[in-house]
């Protein structure tokens, strides 16, 4: 017969293993760790404005996630945001002349990078750079520009009416 101490030891080991498995699962799902590196290749793109783009944001082609943002840095000479993307290895036929745009998921959702494939027979490979980029549309900037135009058009209308009188 198994002693009480042996049973308690097995239960303790089982609980420790279950707790360890839950911690690994939590880190894997949240993406907070780089222990589980996915195979792939790295591509860079420089943007004038990245908005609220973050590391681990999705990289999509046609709405399908094909990678993630791995790093964001500021280029000290051009003052552009250089975004490093990790593209999954099975997506190895992205044309080299593709464009990258920063889009928003919904009206107020997270930003992600959308790659639009073009027509080149050459493909992106490790450490390639996407030349053609389109920066993020910042809602605050658009509202500010709209208000500025409305304000200027009302001033111009008032000045024109004042000249006619």
- The stretch 14-22 carries a mean pLDDT of 94
Is the whole-model pTM more than 0.75? no
Is residue 140 over pLDDT 70?
yes
Over the stretch 48-103, which tens digit does the pLDDT of each residue have? 999 889 998 999 999 999 999 999 999 999 999 999 999 998 998 999 999 999 99
Per-residue buried b or exposed e for 96-124, using 16+ beta carbons within 10 Å of the residue's own CB: eebbbbbbbeeeeeebbbbbeeeeeeeeb
Inform me whether the pLDDT recorded for 33 exceeds 60.
Answer: no
């Amino acid at each position: 017969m198994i002693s009480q101490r042996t049973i308690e030891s097995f239960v303790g080991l089982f609980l420790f293993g279950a707790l360890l498995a839950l911690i690994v699962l939590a880190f894997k799902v949240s993406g907070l760790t780089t222990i589980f590196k996915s195979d792939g290749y790295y591509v860079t793109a420089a943007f004038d404005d990245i908005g609220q783009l973050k590391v681990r944001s999705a990289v999509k082609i046609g709405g399908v996630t094909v990678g993630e943002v791995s790093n964001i840095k500021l280029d000290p000479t051009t003052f552009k945001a250089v975004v490093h993307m990790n593209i999954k290895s099975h997506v190895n036929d992205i044309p080299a002349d593709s464009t990258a745009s920063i889009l928003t998921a919904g009206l107020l959702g997270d930003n992600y990078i959308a790659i639009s494939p073009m027509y080149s027979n050459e493909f992106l490979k490790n450490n390639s750079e996407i030349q053609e980029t389109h920066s993020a549309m910042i809602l605050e900037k658009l509202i500010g520009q709209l208000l500025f135009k409305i304000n200027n058009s009302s001033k111009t209308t008032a000045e024109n009416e004042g000249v006619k009188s």
